Amino acid sequence: MDATRQKLIETAGQLFSRDGFESTTVREICQHAGTNVASIHYHFGDKERLYIEAVKHAHCHQPPSPQPWAEGATPPQKLAAIIHQMMTVMLDAETPSWHTELMMRELARPTSACEALVREFIDPLFAQLLCVVTELLPPSVPLVERQGLAFSVVAQCLLYRYHRPIGRLLVGENHFQQLTTIEESARRITEFSLGGLQSVATREGAVASKPGESS
Amino acid sequence: MDATRQKLIETAGQLFSRDGFESTTVREICQHAGTNVASIHYHFGDKERLYIEAVKHAHCHQPPSPQPWAEGATPPQKLAAIIHQMMTVMLDAETPSWHTELMMRELARPTSACEALVREFIDPLFAQLLCVVTELLPPSVPLVERQGLAFSVVAQCLLYRYHRPIGRLLVGENHFQQLTTIEESARRITEFSLGGLQSVATREGAVASKPGESS
Amino acid sequence: MDATRQKLIETAGQLFSRDGFESTTVREICQHAGTNVASIHYHFGDKERLYIEAVKHAHCHQPPSPQPWAEGATPPQKLAAIIHQMMTVMLDAETPSWHTELMMRELARPTSACEALVREFIDPLFAQLLCVVTELLPPSVPLVERQGLAFSVVAQCLLYRYHRPIGRLLVGENHFQQLTTIEESARRITEFSLGGLQSVATREGAVASKPGESS
Amino acid sequence: MDATRQKLIETAGQLFSRDGFESTTVREICQHAGTNVASIHYHFGDKERLYIEAVKHAHCHQPPSPQPWAEGATPPQKLAAIIHQMMTVMLDAETPSWHTELMMRELARPTSACEALVREFIDPLFAQLLCVVTELLPPSVPLVERQGLAFSVVAQCLLYRYHRPIGRLLVGENHFQQLTTIEESARRITEFSLGGLQSVATREGAVASKPGESS
DNA sequence: AATGAATGAGCCTTCATTCAT
DNA sequence: GATGAATGAAGGCTCATTCAT
């Protein structure tokens, strides 16, 4: 049946994200899913095929959704919106976190699923970000430099998802909690990034669009 | 003997970083190291203990060494020095890449080795960075905010090591090569970060030490 | 299936009784039983659980069955009946001797299986014996003394099963054969025990029920 | 050196008696003895040879010593003396109990050491007992019957050493403690046995030596 | 006489997978 | 379509033993 198949994918995704591919046993999955040991091989052929289905399912349910912003928004407002959305994804506790967990594992050791993941999920967001960064800089700034600066923005967001253990250990549980509220972190990263971009813009050409003025 | 022990750690580190903890078998390690299966348990007790030693060894060869800067260096110069050193560590092609691979795995799914890693390797660097950030900001900025801003600096560096697959896919192999030269990336990150910090300093209190002037 | 399970228990019992728990390997058991190495862990969880099942099986086939005696039997007749049954169990050549071997090993170094053994198999018989001993003694004899005397009766029976090597060496194979016929040994032990109990009864109180008279 | 050898035998004996041959590791022995892992193989060749030495040592230090009784002692007094000595051996907590433990293991699964054990240690005691039993019975009682009755006496003593777990479970820790004092148990067994023997003597021939009168 | 590192066989157990029902 | 018993390969680990010092 299809219900069994879905249940299996759902359960497998959670367990794979929690324990990794090797440490998750098919018995454990079937037990949690309330199915028979043989059901996985019946529906998917083998464990690896089930894993792939789970990964696919994970980023199906976490749509890229490039933020549509209000008409007439200034570039800094756009940047703030993008960063806010990123931090929402990174920190939102509502998100069944195993989706991101599973994707992170994929990124840590990329398989064939990784590229598809980037193309479908990350590329659109990055393209949007690159647009806004471009708007905030004089045209004289070369593409590769703009990409590097966009990385600087993205990097700050990723840290809060992908380097949690370090962060927690460095500043203590208490401070880390304060740093990882969506609003606060989005505000801080936005301010920092706008400052950084303005600095580049100022150096590059004083005649440029003066992005900092509107912040 | 000590030679066997070292050989084992070296070999294990490479295999663990390549295949992960679970997928690496002790038989494989011993075979590559030219030792007996029992040698691991003789020298380390069990597979996990060997893993921990391998992780320790990985960041032993990548020494923390908080950068001693020239007397009378200005805060921006200090920041530039720190970032330059971080990027050297992150991008240095000399470093057998399995060291970082292993550490990344550790951070992705922290075991008991993770805390030791942070304490011994990352903490000193972060403390130094926090000092410089503090010098660049008015005293009114609270500690937790300063920590968050230090994270923003660190995050930019980490991206180039820990999210290479994404970066490569996003901007293409060619551009990614250009972005990952030590000098260029250090310069860009430094400029971006100083701008970001100055922006915060300016907002916080115009009377403050005007860190940006000396950049 | 159940056939595999039974085959495994049967085979394991024989090998455990022959070589002991430690010296018997699961491979050996499975090989003799014609099953796969993993079957033991599928059916029993681990080697120890199989051992316990084998011990239980051993005394299952040697049923406790407290002897129901004829209505109106005198206490001495009851004692004779109990001893006769005990000796039948101890000496019956039909009993595949590994059952007792296994139980003896269990008693020599009790594991978790020992208590269950005593509770299910030995307790009922001992309770019955204690009843009869009580009937043969004046009421003034305290419980603990009666228990000690019941031990004296049981002990004589156990020797013929559990100390065979000594017995054989002490009196020679020929004499030992003569001593270990069911009828002869039961008669001798009964007579000896009745005499012993009467002796205690007489000392305790001449007015008592004079159990010896009916022998 | 000889001191190491002795220390090894002593330590091995205790551990073998506690855990059995298979479950005792040479590492454990050497650790407890404060010697090197290789010392066993240096001094004894292998683990089994050490075991044999330990068994030899065990019954060397527990001499048979047939009790020399006072001149003019009556047969019942002699029987009481023998039983008392047996129970002393069986129950004496002073005896480093591993000697008997080790011997019991030998008896449970006789090796070549078992016969020597019986010959040197048990035979003399049994011969002495048989003598006394003979004195307590009319001459008409055949040898094999007298041997059987001697077994009945010995059996009662053995139970308290060799079937402790059963005893403890059957009557409870508290009662079992009371039953296993040397004086009490020796008295009870003696009384019971004299009664039993007298009963046989009486049946056999009323004219016989009336052994019970002197008790 | 004694050490401790090294050996290789073998242990129990677990795994993903298949097969008969 | 679904079950659960059965499979065999491999896993980590422990052992008694040996070897070079």
pLDDT band, very low/low/confident/very high, at C203 (cuts 50, 70, 90): confident
Q: Are residues B188 and B90 in the same domain?
A: yes
> How far apart are the C-alpha atoms of C49 and C116, rounded to whole Å?
13
Q: What is the mean pLDDT of residues A72-92?
A: 88
Give D164-182 pLDDT, tens digit per residue. Answer: 878 888 898 899 989 999 9
Q: Report the range of poorest mean pLDDT among B93-97, B163-167, C200-204, D156-160.
A: B93-97
> Does the residue D120 lie in any domain?
yes
Looking at every residue in chain C, the average pLDDT score rounds to 84
Among chain B residues, CA nearest to A166: B118
Report which of residues A90 and C105 the model is more confident about. Answer: A90
Contact B159 A158 (CB under 8 A): yes
Q: What is the mean pLDDT of residues A141-152?
A: 95
Per-residue pLDDT at C211 exceeds 50: no
Q: Are residues C79 and C52 in the same domain?
A: no
Per-residue pLDDT at A200 exceeds 90: yes
Report which of residues A198 and B163 the model is more confident about. Answer: A198
> Does the residue A43 lie in any domain?
yes
Q: Report the range of poorest mean pLDDT among A51-65, A73-87, D28-42.
A: A51-65
Q: Report the range of poorest mean pLDDT among B101-110, C5-14, D198-207.
A: B101-110
From B114, B148, B199, residue closest to A179, measured CB to CB: B148
DSSP string across B30-81: HHHHT--HHHHHHHHSSHHHHHHHHHHHHHHSS---PPPPPTT--HHHHHHH
Q: Are residues B104 and B133 in the same domain?
A: yes
Report which of residues B99 and C40 the model is more confident about. Answer: C40
What share of chain D has pLDDT > 90, as a percent? Answer: 36
Nearest-nucleotide field for B26 (CA, C1'): F12
CB A57, CB A9: distance < 8 Å: yes
> Does the residue D69 lie in any domain?
no
Q: Are residues B91 and B46 in the same domain?
A: no
Instruction: Provide the CATH number for the domain around residue B101.
Output: 1.10.357
Other chains touching A, judged by 3 or more CB pairs under 8 Å: B
| Most confident by average pLDDT, A86-100, B105-119, B123-137, D91-105 | B123-137
pLDDT at res. D102? 77
Residue A121 tokens, joined: 């999920």
pLDDT band, very low/low/confident/very high, at B109 (cuts 50, 70, 90): low
- Residue-number span of the structural domain to which D203 is assigned: 75-208
pLDDT at res. D63? 52
Looking at every residue in chain D, the average pLDDT score rounds to 83
Examine the fold and report which residue of B14, B35, B59 is the final residue of a domain before the chain moves on: B59
Q: Are residues C134 and C40 in the same domain?
A: no
pLDDT band, very low/low/confident/very high, at C72 (cuts 50, 70, 90): confident
Q: How far is the CA of A202 from the C1' of E8 (A)?
A: 71
> Does the residue A175 lie in any domain?
yes
C70 touches strand F (CB under 7 A): no
Q: Are residues A26 and A130 in the same domain?
A: no
The stretches of chain A forming alpha helices (DSSP H) are: 2-23, 26-33, 39-43, 47-60, 75-91, 98-108, 112-117, 123-136, 143-162, 164-179, 182-204
> Does the residue C142 lie in any domain?
yes
Q: How many CB pairs under 8 A join A and B?
A: 163
pLDDT at res. C151? 95
Distance (Å) from the alpha carbon of C148 to chain D's nearest alpha carbon = 6
pLDDT at res. A112? 60
CB B76, CB B215: distance < 8 Å: yes
Q: Are residues C82 and C54 in the same domain?
A: no
Per-residue pLDDT at A113 exceeds 90: no
Identity of the residue numbered C154: V
Q: Are residues B115 and B203 in the same domain?
A: yes
Give B6-16 pLDDT, tens digit per residue. Answer: 999 999 999 99
| Most confident by average pLDDT, A136-140, D35-39, D57-61 | A136-140
pLDDT at res. D110? 64
Q: Are residues B96 and B136 in the same domain?
A: yes
> Does the residue A163 lie in any domain?
yes
Contact C198 D195 (CB under 8 A): yes
> How far apart are the C-alpha atoms of A177 and A85, rounded to whole Å?
19
Q: Are residues C177 and C95 in the same domain?
A: yes
Distance (Å) from the alpha carbon of C179 to chain D's nearest alpha carbon = 6
**Nearest residue to nucleotide F3 when comparing alpha carbons to its C1'?**
A36
Per-residue pLDDT at B51 exceeds 60: yes
CB atoms within 10 A of CB D109: 17
pLDDT band, very low/low/confident/very high, at C12 (cuts 50, 70, 90): very high
> How far apart are the C-alpha atoms of A81 and A66, rounded to whole Å?
10
pLDDT at res. C64? 52
From D151, D165, D195, residue closest to C167, measured CB to CB: D151
pLDDT band, very low/low/confident/very high, at B40 (cuts 50, 70, 90): very high
Q: What does strand E contact on the protein, if contact means CB under 7 A?
A: A 24-27, 37-38, 40-41, 46-48; B 1, 3-5, 35-39, 42-43; C 24-28, 37-38, 40-42, 45-48; D 1, 4, 35-39, 42-43
What share of chain D has pLDDT > 70, as a percent? Answer: 80
Q: Give the number of domains in chain D.
A: 2
pLDDT at res. A208? 45
Give C119-159 pLDDT, tens digit per residue. Answer: 777 788 899 999 999 999 999 999 999 999 999 999 999 88
> How far apart are the C-alpha atoms of D36 and A47, rounded to whole Å?
49
> How far apart are the C-alpha atoms of D111 and D89, rounded to whole Å?
23
Per-residue pLDDT at C165 exceeds 70: yes
Per-residue pLDDT at D213 exceeds 50: no
Among chain B residues, CA nearest to A165: B107
Per-residue pLDDT at A210 exceeds 50: no
Contact A147 B175 (CB under 8 A): yes
D100 touches strand F (CB under 7 A): no
pLDDT band, very low/low/confident/very high, at C210 (cuts 50, 70, 90): very low
pLDDT at res. A205? 67
Q: Give the bases of strand E that a protein CB approaches within 7 Å.
A: 1-20
Other chains touching C, judged by 3 or more CB pairs under 8 Å: D
pLDDT at res. B77? 93
Chain D residues with CB-CB distance to C171 below 8 A: 144, 147
Report which of residues B195 and A207 the model is more confident about. Answer: B195
Q: Are residues A50 and A89 in the same domain?
A: no
> How far apart are the C-alpha atoms of A106 and A55, rounded to whole Å?
8
pLDDT band, very low/low/confident/very high, at A59 (cuts 50, 70, 90): low
pLDDT at res. A197? 97
Q: Confirm whether pTM is higher than 0.75.
A: no
Q: Do chains D and C touch (3 or more CB pairs under 8 A)?
A: yes
CB B107, CB A163: distance < 8 Å: yes
Q: How far is the CA of D44 from the C1' of F18 (A)?
A: 14
Report which of residues C53 and B212 the model is more confident about. Answer: C53
Q: How far is the CA of B46 from the C1' of E15 (A)?
A: 20
pLDDT at res. C19? 86
> Does the residue D168 lie in any domain?
yes
Per-residue pLDDT at C204 exceeds 70: yes
Instruction: Provide the CATH number for the domain around residue A8.
Output: 1.10.10.60
What share of chain B has pLDDT > 90, as a percent? Answer: 47
> Does the residue A68 lie in any domain?
no
pLDDT at res. B108? 65
The C-alpha R_g of chain B, in whole angstroms, comes to 20
**SS3 letters across chain D:** CHHHHHHHHHHHHHHHHHHHHHHCCHHHHHHHHCCCCCHHHHHCCCHHHHHHHHHHHHHHCCCCCCCCCCCCCCHHHHHHHHHHHHHHHHHCCCCCCHHHHHHHHHHHCCCHHHHHHHHHHHHHHHHHHHHHHHHHCCCCCCHHHHHHHHHHHHHHHHHHHHCHHHHHHHHHHHHHHHHCCHHHHHHHHHHHHHHHHHHHHHHHCCCCCCHHHHC
- Backbone phi, then psi, for A64, in 5-degree steps? -60, -50
Report which of residues C10 and C2 the model is more confident about. Answer: C10
From A22, A144, A194, residue closest to B20, measured CB to CB: A22
Q: Are residues B36 and B138 in the same domain?
A: no
Chain D residues with CB-CB distance to C23 below 8 A: 22
> How far apart are the C-alpha atoms of A205 and C53, rounded to whole Å?
86
pLDDT at res. D124? 85
pLDDT at res. D108? 63
B37 touches strand F (CB under 7 A): yes
> How far apart are the C-alpha atoms of C118 and C103, rounded to whole Å?
10
